[in-house]
Structure formats: C-alpha cells, structure tokens
Amino acid sequence: MCTRMLKNYTKKLSTDLAYAAAFIDGEGYIEYTRRPKKNGLGKVYNTICIRIEVCNTDHSIIRWLRDTFKQGYLVKIKPRKTKAGNLSRPVLRWQLTHHKVYEVLKQVFPYMKEKNKKEKARKILEFYENK
C-alpha cells in the first residue's frame, strides 16, 4: 500500500467530521451547565457539567463515532415496553465528559449547524481555551 493511501487511513477526513457533526446535531445531546453540588459534609460547591451523549438503535454508527474519535465509552440501554406492549429495539449510547468533549468539539465545531447545540459547543470551547 502506498504511503499516500496510508495517510488517508490515519487522518480523519473532513467528510467523516461533517457526518459526525451532523449526527451529533441530529441525535446528540450537549450539556454545559453550572450548578451547586453538595459534598459529603454538606458544603456546597459550584460545579460545571460538560458532556455529550449520542444514542441510536443502529449500533454500528455509534461504534463508528467512538472509534473515529477514540474518546468516550459505550452504554447499552435495555429495551423498554412500548405503549403497544412490544419491546423497543436496544439502544447504544456514546458518552463523553469534560476534556474528551473538548477534544471532539474542536474537530466537529466547524461543521455543526444546529443553533442551540452550536452555542453550547462554543461555550465549552471557550471554557477550555480560556483556562
């Protein structure tokens, strides 16, 4: 295999990043919140919660996201009963927290389109870049 083709396998393509951004826009959840949290002694601290979750019944896409970015972990969600009494399909969730979110958002932010998620992503990027 020539070295030029080998480089394409090791480098993320812009089409892959655009697809991942679209999937996060459509199926994902981005959280950036500041909230008080008590420690074991009852003292209240302000904490920052930063995370991304993407869920889908197509497990291959969720695994592809994790493998593409080499970040986060997968959680299997058990099937639930629907209103009709049938079981739903099992869901796979890709989860990232804190600095891992920053690493992924740096790459996909230019391709994101959904207004609310892009605003949260911008706040997370600013948070880590101003640290």
Q: Model confidence over 39-67: pLDDT tens digits?
A: 888 899 889 999 999 999 999 999 999 99
Question: What share of the chain in percent tops pLDDT 90?
Answer: 69
Which whole number is the average pLDDT over 22-29?
Answer: 95
Q: Report the pLDDT value the prediction gives residue 88, as an integer from 0 to 100.
A: 87
- Alpha-carbon torsion (75, 30, 107, 126), positive or negative: negative
The mean of the pLDDT values for the chain is 89
Q: Report the pLDDT value the prediction gives residue 124, as an integer from 0 to 100.
A: 96
Q: Indicate if the pLDDT at residue 86 is higher than 70.
A: yes
Confidence of residue 85 (pLDDT cuts 50, 70, 90): confident
Report residue 80 as tokens. Answer: 């639930």
Which whole number is the average pLDDT over 79-86?
Answer: 87
* Residue extents of the structural domains in the chain: 13-129
Virtual torsion, Cα 37, 55, 102, 25, nearest 10 deg:
-110
Which CATH architecture does the domain made up of 13-129 adopt? Roll (3.10)
- Residue that has been written with the tokens 């948070």 in this structure: 127
Q: Report the pLDDT value the prediction gives residue 131, as an integer from 0 to 100.
A: 75
